[in-house]
Amino acid sequence: MIRPVEYIRNPPPAKISIEAWTEQFEKVPDEEIKRYTYYHNNDWGRYLFPPVLFMVYGARELKRLKLDNSFAALRMWGFVFNETERLFRAGQSDKKVIATMGDLGIIPIIIQSFPNCVPFYPECIWWTPFFRESTEMLDFATKLGIPEAACFSRAALSAFHKRAYFPRPEMVIASTGASCDDYSCIMQQVEDLGYEPLWIEIPLRRESQKYLSADKYENAGYPARFEDYLINEYKTVWNKMTALTGINNLNRLKDSIIKANRLRGMVEEMKNIAGQAENQPLPALEMMTIEFGNLYGYADMDEWINIVEMLLDLVRERVAKKVGVLDRNAVPVAWVTPSADPYLLNLVEDLGGRVVATEYVINQALVPVEENIDPFRALARAFMKSSLNGSTSERVKRITGIAGSGQIKGVIITNMLGASHCAMETRLIEKELQSVPVLAIDVPAPFGITEQIRTRIEAFMEMIR
């Protein structure tokens, strides 16, 4: 007979509704709930709750979403939705909360080298209006002066203003330069709310061309001096953190890189085995959430690594058993640029798609960081592989690499109307991916996915099936 815990840990894979999850949650023993905590705190660090609780707290979209039925996924969602509470607790428990904006994946590795320092990305708030099925945060950003046709990351500005989503950060580190304009403009507005951001320069990744000869490109694919620019930037961050904490121990940075690599390695393995499995072991929404965890471990890197370990075990097990959450005949597609609306990922799967490859503009958070060289150079090299500071063809080369192989039958690009890189990249991506059909979708405002969008996806799936 299967004991309840075993059943909860290993149910036959499926995507289930929030009602089904509520029912299933009742079978989770109390000791299991108590076992998982953030910041290793047994008094107030619990985060394992049924998804319906987060719906009651405002994540209304959960009632429409279907989530993976595994215990590992339950643990993941509890942890992810608990982030606001966690950040406020961090502030209350003498941790230093640091807002790292715009670089998506490298600066938190530096921050995590300092004890009791918690990095987070305010821009990741961009999912919140969609989970809440409310345009309130976006409308408020408009009131603050942000155009309506702009990236949904504008919700971050409202979050700074409202002070309800994260505590006042002790430091704001804002990365700008050869990256998207929308967020650079939003970060500039944060300054008006009484912050003095530490501005960090993102260099251009100028790639080799046949007519360029003045710079040495070596093997990196860009002039070596660009790494040196970034090293200077990271050393500035380090010095600021040293001044803030009184600690200056580079061995901790090396350890932090090793930890980041551990996570990156697990996520890479998960993506690879999931992408090649006979049946999709985890839904696209959970996979996207896992991928974005690489940025900063949802403000508790140690616990996030434990969660990802559990998820990786689950994926390995499901793949070994050849079981999954989708129809075996689901059509494999690649997804380019993350969707701000989680429902879209559900919808594509409901309409017969299966996401087997992604380019979510966070390549710098996925690549391994070298461990046997100067840590600042290692971080610079990892960042120089970033998605947005170079050419579009370099950005999507992983997708173009598999486009002709039959591994994917189509590509879905999700855009934000008015976002600078979407406006300029979509046509180029379509051109780069001529060997497969491409569907470009403008993600509408929260609760705005219409029958028209549904029909377009349906038609696309029929075409590529």
Provide the 3-class DSSP secondary structure of residue 280.
coil
Give the span between the Cα atoms of 168 and 158, in whole angstroms.
13
Q: 421, 436, 439, 464: which one contacts another protein (CB under 8 A)?
A: 421
Does position 417 interact with another protein (CB under 8 A)? The reply is yes
Judged by CB under 8 A, the chain residues 182 through 201 that form the site for another protein are 182, 184-189, 191-192, 197, 199-201
Q: 48, 84, 426, 461: which one contacts another protein (CB under 8 A)?
A: 426
Give the span between the Cα atoms of 295 and 374, in whole angstroms.
21
Q: 139, 181, 255, 309: which one contacts another protein (CB under 8 A)?
A: 181
Taking contact as CB under 8 A, which single stretch among the options 27-35, 125-133, 410-418, 450-458 is the one that binds another protein? 410-418
- Nearer CB in complex with another protein: 273/445: 445
Provide the 3-class DSSP secondary structure of residue 292.
helix
DSSP 376-407: HHHHHHHHTT-SSSS-HHHHTHHHHHHHTTTS
Does position 218 interact with another protein (CB under 8 A)? The reply is no
Q: 26, 30, 40, 209: which one contacts another protein (CB under 8 A)?
A: 209
Give the span between the Cα atoms of 84 and 165, in whole angstroms.
5
Judged by CB under 8 A, the chain residues 159 through 178 that form the site for another protein are 174, 176-178
Judged by CB under 8 A, the chain residues 281 through 340 that form the site for another protein are none
Does position 448 interact with another protein (CB under 8 A)? The reply is no
Provide the 3-class DSSP secondary structure of residue 354.
strand
Minimum CB–partner distance for residue 420 and another protein (Å): 4
Give the span between the Cα atoms of 58 and 140, in whole angstroms.
17
Nearest residue to 21 (alpha-carbon basis) of 73, 56, 57, 58? 73
- Nearer CB in complex with another protein: 358/420: 420
Taking contact as CB under 8 A, which single stretch among the options 19-27, 105-113, 345-353, 416-424 is the one that binds another protein? 416-424
Minimum CB–partner distance for residue 232 and another protein (Å): 8
Judged by CB under 8 A, the chain residues 18 through 47 that form the site for another protein are none
How many Cα atoms sit within 13 Å of 96 on the Cβ side? 20
Does position 100 interact with another protein (CB under 8 A)? The reply is no
Nearest residue to 353 (alpha-carbon basis) of 455, 460, 272? 460
Query: Computed from CA positions of residues 351, 130, 81, 307, in that sequence, does the dihedral angle turn out positive or negative?
Result: positive
Nearest residue to 399 (alpha-carbon basis) of 460, 341, 407? 407
- Nearer CB in complex with another protein: 185/315: 185
Separation of first and last alpha carbons in the chain = 41
Interface residues with another protein (CB under 8 A) are 144-147, 149-150, 174, 176-182, 184-189, 191-192, 197, 199-201, 203-204, 206, 209, 211-215, 223, 225-226, 229, 391-393, 415, 417-418, 420-428, 431
